A and B are shown apart, each in its own frame.
Chain A
Amino acid sequence: MHFLLPLFRWADGTWLGETIRGSRIYFPIIETFHLLALTMLFGAVIVLNLRLCRVIMKNQPVQQVAEDLSPYAFWSLVVILTSGFMLFTSEAMKCYASKPFQVKMVFLFSALIFHFTVHRKATRSDREPTLPWGSLVGAVNVLLWLGVGLGGRGIGFL
């Protein structure tokens, strides 16, 4: 037995999970919010990291682009995580058995940690990171979020 199994069992048995499971339309509605917020976050990630790689908006300081995007990115992340948790409780046991879900969670936690540490440092300092370093941080950030998206799409298919 995996040490996380009790967590999945708990989520599966919550009132929230049962309510969502019991309706035909709750899941699609919540997932639509998940998808809309995800579109917004992904757009922000692309714009900011292309700037970090000096592909677009070269005339604007990275720090400023990051500050302009951050409130929207933050709130879309809040919507994504909340709706994602709700979806998870409704099919926690399916997720427990799902390889793509495991992959998604590894990418998600890596992306979040990277985003709020290395990435934040690179985008919020007065001095812009030098090109190879900035590009590397930007590329890693995009790839981590891409992994989250691909893993998520995989849950539905595999």
Chain B
Amino acid sequence: MSDVPAVIQWLQNSEIGTGIRESVWTFPLVETTHVLALALSVGVLIWFDLRLLGWGMKHTPVSQVHKQVMPLAGIGFIVMFISGILLFWSEAEKCYLSGFFRAKVLFLVLAGVNAAVFEFTTKKSIEEWDKYPVPPPKARIAGLFSILSWAAVIIAGRATAYNLF
């Protein structure tokens, strides 16, 4: 395909890309790892987001939920990211051409920016929030944005695999 950049073609046709794609077990194993890591990281992160919104885990202080739950989500994200790169490597051309995959990357960036803003600025006053059942609006917005952007990542990711459009 001529409209695919050379680096994408090179990735797909590299030894590792071809190896993952054509092996009987590697692709399903990497894919399964990706989905499990997703369920771990986003599944756990959701509880922190719900806590930020004041909708879930109301009896546990926000700062506690953050401290206990985020390391788990972090481990999940690392595994998800590595397995995701491997999957992309093996299907680089399909992903590059897929509108859903592009949307997924966009939502991923949005989720990442939201998380970075929260971790580096918003979070500074997290201990203060422990005094109230519901955190301040800026924290609630971060929680809602996180849930929505991750749901969008999952939806777009699932649609990439189906290659609908």
Contacts and interface: CB of A to CB of B under 8 A. Distances in A.
Interface of A: 24-25, 28, 31-32, 35-36, 38-44, 46-47, 50, 56-57, 59-60, 64-65, 68-69, 72, 146, 149-150, 153-154, 157
B159 interface: yes
Given A39-B154, A60-B59, A68-B56, A44 B47 contact: yes
Interface stretch (B38-46, B81-89, B119-127, B135-143): B38-46
B39 A38 contact: yes
B69 to A, nearest CB: 7
Given A25-B164, A46-B72, 14 more contacts: A28-B158, A28-B159, A28-B162, A31-B158, A35-B158, A39-B43, A43-B43, A57-B60, A60-B60, A64-B59, A68-B57, A68-B60, A72-B56, A153-B31
Given A50-B72, A68-B56, A40 B164 contact: no
Chain B residues touching A, majority SS: helix
Interface string B45-83: 111001000001111100011001100100000000000
A20 B59 CA distance: 42
Chain A residues touching B, majority SS: helix
A42 B35 CA distance: 11
A41, A46, A64 — most chain B CB neighbours (10 Å): A46
Chain B, interface size category, equals 20 to 34
Contacts of A59: 64
B32 interface: yes
A9 to B, nearest CB: 27
A139 to B, nearest CB: 15
A25, A47, A72 — most chain B CB neighbours (10 Å): A47
Nearest to A34: B158
A43 B46 contact: yes
B36 interface: yes
A47 B158 contact: no
Nearest to B150: A39
13 contacts: A28-B158, A32-B158, A36-B151, A36-B155, A39-B39, A43-B43, A43-B44, A43-B45, A57-B60, A60-B59, A64-B59, A68-B57, A72-B50
